[in-house]
């Protein structure tokens, strides 16, 4: 094992029951995510929500951008092919097409919208979204991996959008040691106590290693309880593309600073450049940083586990370097907040921004935070009116005491179907200021709210949501 400082050393107490061998992080990431989606794909919202799973404003901003790029009908082909890679629950597609139809019915009729996802259950769920049904004649779907779309012809797609896909895709964790690049490898374990819950431990290990998801459903739950042991070993460069681009990027990074290398994102950039028509555009949104100085910080977050699923921050700076290496000249990175605000013509903040500014937030118990969030949403929903109806899905935490559970359920029942759709939705300045007195009654600070609207509470965060956009040159 490589000798590293304590911050990077393997766990001292290795659990006794091993589930597999040491492998690069990205290999286990792909393995675990396949199991996660098979076992928990229908309940993703219990672990995290995306900025497009319930809200409509990101989709409307994308529709506005698409409209502005294609408003001269005489210059357009009869059919404009739009791909959405990683279709989620279908909400982004539904809101995009509904808003595009209001902006320009002719353009909407010409648009062929293709949902692309590797998981058939996800595709079927997205296609069943109620607000997609009026648009079904212009919807198609393809079960495929966005990293390898060999069934899609070169220069055949006019527009590609995706939201929070890159953080799911294959990502290596690299660092420098004594001038050489090495990578993080991990090994899964379960505690001895947990292992005793399995009637046939060896059968379970085989099912886990084989990704036999049908059989895994019959075993006790385990994803949340995997303990990962770490080691740092040389990189097998035969399995890693773009070695020069990666090594050049890593040269100024200090020794022992871990850096995410989003290989899956690289693959989608390459595919986008291949299948886009001249003048087409690829746009994706995700959490990460475009700032090399932030990437170079030893204490930055690199990845997290949500319900057993690995999710990585996106190294947008390296992704831009890769895109330019592949010949792209039109590459822009901006904060998602800035993009949505600009396209919709409103000063925006998210519910997360607002709640995070509450002076007592960090002192509250988890269920007290839930009540604060729901009371905040109830206040906002008095002035917020969505053009879409949504059922508010908010899981009640198991440890919530009974009186608080009843109050939370009552708060959920009081939320209107056209109110704020989820706890991460975008809010306009007018909506927030219209109920600022009621928010102050919930304990919010009026000046902090006004300051947040003036400066955007997210802009100073090292890890934030960004828009990465790449155009295909017209002479390509």
Residues 117-135 have pLDDT tens digits of 998 988 999 999 999 999 9
Q: Residue 7 above 70 pLDDT?
A: no
More confident: 12 or 302? 302
Tokens of 180: 């050489």
How many CB atoms are located within 10 Å of the residue 398 CB? 6
Q: Tens digit of pLDDT for each residue in 250-292?
A: 999 999 999 999 999 999 999 999 999 999 999 999 999 999 9
pLDDT at 48: 52
- What's the pLDDT tens digit per position in 400-414? 999 999 999 999 999
Q: Per-residue pLDDT for 2 more than 50? A: no
Closest to 197 measured CA to CA, from 219, 215, 217: 219
The CA–CA distances, whole Å, from 329 to 255, 273, 317, 368, 476 equal 31, 11, 15, 49, 11
The pLDDT score that the predictor gives to residue 457 is: 54
Spell out where 245-325 has E strands: 259-261, 276-289, 303-306, 309-312, 314-315
Place of tokens 């019959």: 218
The more confident residue out of 100 and 311 is 100
State mean pLDDT over 334-345: 96
Residue ranges with strand state E in 119-244? 139-143, 157-163, 172-177, 180-190, 227-234
* CA distances, 288 to each of 333, 335, 438, 463 (Å): 11, 10, 34, 5
SS3 content of the chain, % helix, strand, coil (to 5): 45, 20, 35
Per-residue model confidence (pLDDT) at position 13: 56
What value does the mean pLDDT of the chain take? Answer: 91
How far is 205 from 211, CA to CA, in rounded Å? 10
Are 165 and 249 in contact by the 8 Å Cβ rule? The answer is no
Output the pLDDT for position 109. 95
Q: pLDDT tens, 155-186? A: 999 999 999 999 999 999 999 999 899 999 99
Tokens 């079904």 found at: 136
Share of the chain above pLDDT 70, in %: 92
Strands (E), 290-445: 303-306, 309-312, 314-315, 330-335, 348-350, 426-428
Res 394: pLDDT:
86
Give residue 402's pLDDT: 94
SS3 call for 459: coil
Q: Given pLDDT bands bounded at 50, 70 and 90, which one contains residue 306?
A: confident
Where do the domains of the chain lie, and which CATH numbers do they carry? Answer: 1-44+165-262+286-325 (no CATH), 45-164+265-285+326-339+467-471 (3.40.50.150), 344-455 (no CATH)
Answer yes or no: is pLDDT of 6 > 70: no
How many Cβ atoms from other residues are within 10 Å of residue 142's Cβ? 17
What's the pLDDT band for 14 if we cut at 50, 70, 90? very low
394-402 contact pairs (CB < 8 A, 24+) = 394/370, 394/422, 394/423, 395/45, 395/46, 396/370, 397/366, 397/367, 397/370, 399/366, 399/367, 400/366, 400/367, 400/370, 401/367
Query: pLDDT digits over 76-119, tens only?
Result: 889 999 999 999 999 999 999 999 999 999 999 999 999 999 98
Distances (CA, A) of 363 to 126, 367, 368: 39, 12, 9
HEC profile for 273-291? Answer: HHHEEEEEEEEEEEEEECC
Give the H or E element holding residue 134.
none
pLDDT in tens, 52-67: 688 999 999 999 999 9
Cα torsion 157, 465, 65, 75 to 10°: value is -30
DSSP conformational letter for 148: B
pLDDT tops 90 at residue 75: no
Q: 207-238: per-residue pLDDT in tens?
A: 999 999 999 999 999 998 999 999 999 999 99
């Amino acid at each position: 094992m490589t000798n590293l400082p304590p911050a990077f050393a393997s766990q001292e107490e290795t659990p006794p029951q091993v589930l597999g061998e040491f492998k690069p992080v990205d290999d286990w990431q792909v393995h675990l995510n396949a199991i996660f989606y098979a076992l928990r794909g229908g309940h993703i919202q219990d672990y995290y929500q995306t900025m497009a799973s319930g809200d409509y404003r990101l989709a409307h901003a994308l529709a506005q951008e698409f409209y502005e790029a294609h408003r001269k009908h005489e210059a357009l082909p009869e059919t404009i092919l739009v791909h959405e890679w990683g279709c989620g629950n279908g909400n982004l597609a539904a809101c995009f097409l509904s808003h595009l139809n209001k902006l320009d019915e002719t353009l909407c009729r010409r648009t062929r919208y293709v949902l692309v996802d590797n998981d058939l259950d996800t595709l079927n769920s997205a296609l069943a979204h109620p607000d997609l049904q009026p648009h079904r004649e212009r919807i198609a779907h393809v079960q495929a991996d966005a990293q390898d779309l060999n069934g899609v012809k070169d220069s055949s797609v006019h527009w590609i959008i995706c939201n929070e896909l890159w953080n799911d895709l294959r990502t290596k964790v690299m660092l420098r040691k004594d001038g050489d690049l090495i990578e993080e490898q991990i090994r899964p374990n379960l505690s001895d106590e947990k292992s005793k819950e399995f009637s046939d431990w060896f059968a379970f290990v085989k099912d886990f290693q084989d990704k036999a998801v049908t059989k895994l459903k019959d075993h006790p739950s385990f994803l949340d309880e995997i303990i990962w042991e770490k080691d740092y070993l040389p990189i097998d460069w035969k399995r890693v593309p773009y070695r020069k681009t990666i090594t050049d990027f890593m040269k100024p990074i200090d020794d022992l600073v871990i850096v995410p290398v989003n290989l899956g994102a690289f693959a989608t950039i390459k595919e986008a450049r291949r299948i886009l028509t001249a003048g087409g555009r690829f746009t994706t949104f995700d959490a990460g940083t475009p700032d090399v100085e932030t990437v170079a910080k030893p204490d930055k977050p690199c990845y997290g586990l949500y319900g057993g699923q690995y999710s990585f921050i996106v190294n947008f700076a390296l992704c831009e370097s890769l895109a330019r290496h592949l010949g792209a000249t039109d590459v822009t990175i901006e904060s998602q907040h800035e993009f949505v605000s600009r396209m919709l013509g409103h000063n925006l903040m998210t519910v997360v921004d607002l709640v995070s500014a509450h002076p007592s937030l960090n002192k509250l118990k988890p269920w007290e935070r839930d009540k604060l969030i729901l009371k905040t949403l109830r206040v906002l929903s008095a002035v917020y009116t969505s053009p879409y109806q949504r059922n508010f899905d908010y899981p009640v935490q198991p440890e919530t005491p009974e009186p608080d559970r009843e109050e939370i359920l009552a708060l959920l029942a009081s939320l209107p179907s056209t109110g704020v759709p989820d706890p991460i939705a975008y809010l306009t300045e007018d909506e927030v200021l219209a109920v600022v007195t009621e928010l102050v009654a919930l304990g919010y600070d009026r000046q902090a709210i006004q300051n947040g609207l003036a400066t955007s509470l997210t802009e100073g965060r090292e890890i934030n949501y960004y828009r990465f956009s790449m155009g295909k040159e017209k002479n390509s």
